[in-house]
């Protein structure tokens, strides 16, 4: 009896956490453009962005009527971030707050509000229209109409 109850609870949790998400987005979608390999990995409301196999961003997303809203929550920063002009960094993912604090601690003379404003721009929220046709995902940025096509891997 307990095994059945646990399975029911797990099924309900899976349904709850994926509610409102377009599960057909789940998976790895990639393309090569100008010699650079780009990948988006979607999994029930969480995404990751890779460039040439290196994780660049993480975040969360929602879908509604073929509109994809992507909130960038973490950004990969390497030791020579911004050409080293802001100091040396440990290679890892940083949240928006962690990155702002790291920049401020390495550059105490910088205006704190200016740093926070600068870092805010690196953690955008994107609105895109999307469509899936077979193994092709078309993403169109809503502000400018730029479209990219990605193939399911």
Structure confidence by residue, pLDDT tens digits, 107-121: 999 999 999 999 999
**pLDDT (0 to 100) of residue 16:** 40
**Which residue has better confidence, 78 or 5?**
78
| Nearest-5° Cα angle at 27, 22 to 32 | 115
**What pLDDT, on the 0 to 100 scale, is given for residue 11?**
39
User: How much is the pLDDT for 79?
Assistant: 84
Strands 92-95 and 125-133: unpaired
Convert the pLDDT of each residue in 38-64 to its tens digit: 999 999 999 999 999 999 999 999 999
Tell me the range of 4-8, 22-26, 60-64, 79-83 where mean pLDDT is highest. 60-64
The residues near 141 (Cβ < 8 Å, ≥ 6 apart) are: 126, 127, 128, 147
- Where exactly are the structural domains of the chain? 21-152
- With cut-offs at 50, 70 and 90, classify the pLDDT of residue 15: very low
Higher pLDDT, residue 80 or 108: 108
Q: Is the pLDDT of residue 17 over 80?
A: no
- CATH of region 21-152, choose from 3.20.20.70, 2.60.120.10, 2.40.160.40, 2.40.128.50: 2.40.128.50
Q: Are the CB atoms for 63 and 21 separated by under 8 Å?
A: yes
Q: Give just the sign of the alpha carbon dihedral 127, 22, 131, 53.
A: positive
pLDDT given at position 18: 43
Using the predicted structure, report yes or no on whether residue 142 has a pLDDT greater than 80: yes
pLDDT tier at 5, thresholds 50, 70, 90: low
Confidence of residue 22 (pLDDT cuts 50, 70, 90): low
């Amino acid at each position: 009896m307990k095994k059945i109850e646990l399975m029911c609870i797990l099924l309900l949790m899976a349904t709850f956490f994926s509610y409102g998400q377009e599960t057909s987005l789940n998976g790895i979608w990639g393309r090569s453009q100008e010699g650079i390999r780009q990948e988006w990995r979607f999994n029930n409301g969480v995404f990751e962005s890779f460039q040439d196999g290196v994780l660049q961003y993480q975040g969360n997303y929602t879908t509604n009527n073929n509109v994809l809203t992507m909130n960038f929550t973490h950004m990969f920063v390497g030791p020579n971030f911004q050409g080293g002009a802001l100091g040396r960094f440990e290679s890892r993912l940083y949240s928006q707050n962690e990155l702002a604090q790291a920049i401020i601690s390495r550059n105490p003379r910088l205006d704190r509000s200016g740093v926070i404003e600068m870092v805010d721009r690196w953690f955008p929220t994107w609105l895109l229209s999307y469509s899936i046709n077979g193994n092709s995902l078309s993403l169109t940025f809503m502000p400018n109409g730029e479209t990219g096509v990605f193939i399911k891997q």
